[in-house]
Amino acid sequence: MTVLTLPSPTLMSWAHKELGPLPTPPVDVSHPRVNSRVWELTRPSRVRVFLKVSPNPVTYQRETFALRHAVPALGAHRAPQLIASHPQHLALLVTAVDGRPIKQLTPSAAEEAEAHRQGGLLLARLHAAGDLTGPRRAEAERALTDAAAGAEDRLTAAGDRLTPDERDLVRACAAHLSQLPPLPLAFIHGDAWPRNLLWNGATAAWIDFERARFTAVVQDLVPLACAVWPGRPDLRAAFFAGYGRTLTASEDAALTCLSALDAVSCLRWGPDHGDPQVTARGRRTLDRLTGEVRR
């Protein structure tokens, strides 16, 4: 949890106006990072609601748009539902979803595979939602080019945390990414880590849509490709069984390139913020990609 304990009086006044009487005080359930501000509120009849204050206007706008226009496509109880939003305070009131993050559980291999299969199914529904026209299509079409163009800045920020060979590998990946043919586009979750995949023993759900946006489909798979699939090919197979298709050759190449860029970001951000898990993930990804190149 963060050091915050209670929402501001202004936020609580708004929550009371939207929800009515709240019989118990709010409970701070923020993630252990500076900009996380989330509280659990309990309505009469023990109905749970979350009050979330977004870190900045961009994440607020993204999550609000997602909850209004795309997330309902996932189905009832498969994602939070928006109750109310407050642009001035970047605040959201959303319904609770049954389950716990799959990474906090110890399911059997079969149960974990089923959770990831359903996770793939839900992302397929999300990717089919949203109006991909006009400026949104233009934004999505340039996303991979923008990612490739930012590689040098990421390398500069990471400094000597990469070897010369690793830096060459990342530059090669960025160059290849910018030369790929057009890839399938969609509205993506944007933060599809296991911490955001809930499981209640029977059904899966996705939460936290503050990074949702229009871009290439493959960008939604980078977290799983870096954090889960290398050691669990069964979960990769389960995910794509639910998703309904496998990646094209160009998407597979893009996923490798995007994984390399993500690794650089991990090696920049992790040490600077004292997060050894993020740092280790970046190091594992680069070691794996370097080994694949050598083979």
Distance, CA of 157 to CA of 267 (rounded, Å): 9
Distance, CA of 5 to CA of 27 (rounded, Å): 7
Distance, CA of 204 to CA of 207 (rounded, Å): 10
Q: What is the pLDDT of residues 190-235, one digit of tens each?
A: 999 999 999 999 999 999 999 999 999 999 999 999 999 999 999 9
CATH 2.60.120 at 9-95, yes or no: no
Q: pLDDT band at residue 1, thresholds of 50, 70 and 90?
A: very low
Q: pLDDT band at residue 4, thresholds of 50, 70 and 90?
A: low
Q: What phi and psi, each to the nearest 5 degrees, are found at residue 275?
A: -115, 95
Q: pLDDT band at residue 3, thresholds of 50, 70 and 90?
A: very low
DSSP element (H, E) containing 28: strand 27-28
Tokens of 63: 């999550």
Q: Which CATH number fits domain 100-294: 3.90.1200.10, 3.40.50.300, 3.30.70.3270, 3.20.20.70?
A: 3.90.1200.10
Please choose, from the candidates 147, 130, 152, 120, the residue with its C-alpha nearest in 3D space to the C-alpha of residue 234. 120
The pLDDT value given to residue 42: 93
Distance, CA of 206 to CA of 71 (rounded, Å): 9
The structural domains of the chain, with segments of one domain joined by +, span 9-95, 100-294
Tokens of 261: 């860029």
